[in-house]
Structure 1
Amino acid sequence: MTVPSILVVEDEDALATLLQYNLEKEGYQVAVAQDGEEALVQVDERQPDLIVLDWMLPKVSGIEVCRRLRGRVETRNLPIIMLTARGEETDRIRGLDTGADDYLTKPFSTVELAARIRAVLRRIRPGLAEDVLRRGDLTIDRVAHRVKRNGREIHLGPTEFRLLSHLMQHPGRVFSREQLLDAVWGSDVYVEARTVDVHVGRLRKALMKDGETDPIRTVRSAGYSLDVES
């Protein structure tokens, strides 16, 4: 499965960090730009799958960024969700008329933003918005927070769920403890690297019932990998 990439364009440091943290938890690759000019440069360098774009930005406004992107053939269909403190209907209409695919007024919950992102990706790029992942005999529903193996319901704690979700998005790829800490716990949370071993152990115990094989491979001196057919 391709991991969708999102560019967050937001000049408010605290909000940009919060959005990056929560969207990475949802399994997206996230880059951040702090003004409209930087956003356009980043899009030229590597086009994301979706942009979360603040209206009020230094140098080049969000509306102008949206207008320019819609004016280019290569970015004409790039999904854009606009964030703004403006709640007036005329402003919302202006944002949508400029080419935004959706519009969210501050303050908003990160849960709602994640839902809007999934909805836009489902509508515009359906292959990037898998809510349900299937790898071998494992199935994970990332919206309903349900896991099954061979049809058997598996009950996981929130950390084990995020850990399995991350591994299932990258089957066969080996992740170091440090990489898993960043992806599952967040880069700004201090947790001992050995904590990963504890949670991998709990995940294995939950997944291996009735003589089932261990789907998680330990790679000596390297880390962990989900070893199932994708």
Structure 2
Amino acid sequence: MTRESGSWLVSAGLLAAAAAGSLVALTRYWQPCAGSIGAISFTDGCLVAMDEYAPPLIGQDPASLVGALGLAASLASAAAWLVVLPTIRAGVAARALLALPGLAAVAVAVWSATLAPGADGVPGWTLVLLDLLVLPAALALAALGLGGARLVRYVLVLLAATSAGVVHQVVDLTLALGLNQASWDSPPGSGVPTALAILATAIATLVLWRTAGRAQSPTASLPRDTSSGSGSPTIAVSLPS
């Protein structure tokens, strides 16, 4: 296994861990709203949960299980992007530009962890910044000559790393609102679409990595073993990158 292959496997593992942690945290967080999907009235506990929900720590104290899982998931998804950066051949300036989204995601998660319990979350501009950093990074990837399925792999992981961004949250909210009537607040189940999208990204990353390996057909060279005269072929197999 090449070093690049290892990086992609680690990245997919981090995304899967982030998705699992988020789903566990969200299940516990929305427990007061159990049975409220599609409802038009909610319990007091559910209303409090709807009011306090705020990514990326799901509006919880990081000392709590839910908050700790939310923090760990945010850091894992950001790390999933940072670990694949060494697989890209680029200059110092390009590497810095590509690293910014992941580093910003880490900063937002850590900042969230320093807020007092019950706070409204990090300022909205930080979540906007996460999404604004995605476009120049994606353009930089294309400018570096990446294309096809390889470019798709990088962009998918980049989007997962910045899942706390405001555009992601608007999409998440829209999907959650499709199952609830709570249009005045974060509806029960908010965050679940994002977690499922991260899980799908982990799976897609593995599939694309494996597909790339199959596309690179094993290359066989048949040099003669002059020392033994056996003429045994030597097979060189390329692993996916």
Q: TM-score if structure 2 supplies the norm length?
A: 0.25
Which structure's residues are more often strand, by fraction? Answer: 1
Which structure's residues are more often helix, by fraction? Answer: 2
Considering only CA atoms, is the larger Rg found in Structure 1 or Structure 2? 2
